[in-house]
């Protein structure tokens, strides 16, 4: 599976596991509309936009396998993993 397909698939998995439920309704709606317009393979810009949403995901109730797959992609693209973001939030 290409990385672009993985990013799209994992984004849909994150949505299915309510990782974005804490966001405003219009932000979640924008993500849904964006996903509906996507065609494979994703452009680098489309991939970046989806990964930007990932940085706002709540990872506390995600299955470990999903979190691991997402963090692997985030690290491969030079971004902070979701677990690190969660730990940083807990410190404050």
Burial of residue 24, with CB atoms counted within 10 A of its CB: 0-12 exposed, 13-18 middle, 19 or more buried: exposed
pTM of the predicted model as reported, rounded to 2 decimal places: 0.83
3-state SS class at 46: helix
Q: pLDDT at position 40, please? A: 79
Tens-digit pLDDT profile for residues 20-40: 999 999 999 999 999 999 987
Q: pLDDT at position 84, please? A: 53
| Whole-angstrom distance, CA of residue 12 vs CA of residue 17 | 9
Q: pLDDT at position 90, please? A: 53
Tens-digit pLDDT profile for residues 45-91: 999 999 999 989 999 889 999 999 999 999 999 999 986 554 554 55
Helix or strand (DSSP H, E) at 51: helix 44-54
| Whole-angstrom distance, CA of residue 57 vs CA of residue 82 | 8
């Amino acid at each position: 599976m290409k990385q672009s397909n993985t990013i799209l698939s994992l984004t849909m998995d994150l949505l299915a596991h309510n990782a974005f439920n804490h966001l405003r309704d219009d932000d979640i709606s924008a993500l849904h509309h964006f996903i509906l317009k996507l065609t494979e393979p994703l452009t680098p810009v489309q991939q970046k936009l989806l990964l930007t949403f990932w940085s706002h995901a709540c990872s506390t109730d995600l299955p470990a396998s999903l979190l691991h797959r997402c963090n692997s992609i985030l690290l491969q693209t030079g971004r902070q993993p979701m677990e690190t973001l969660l730990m940083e939030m807990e410190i404050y």
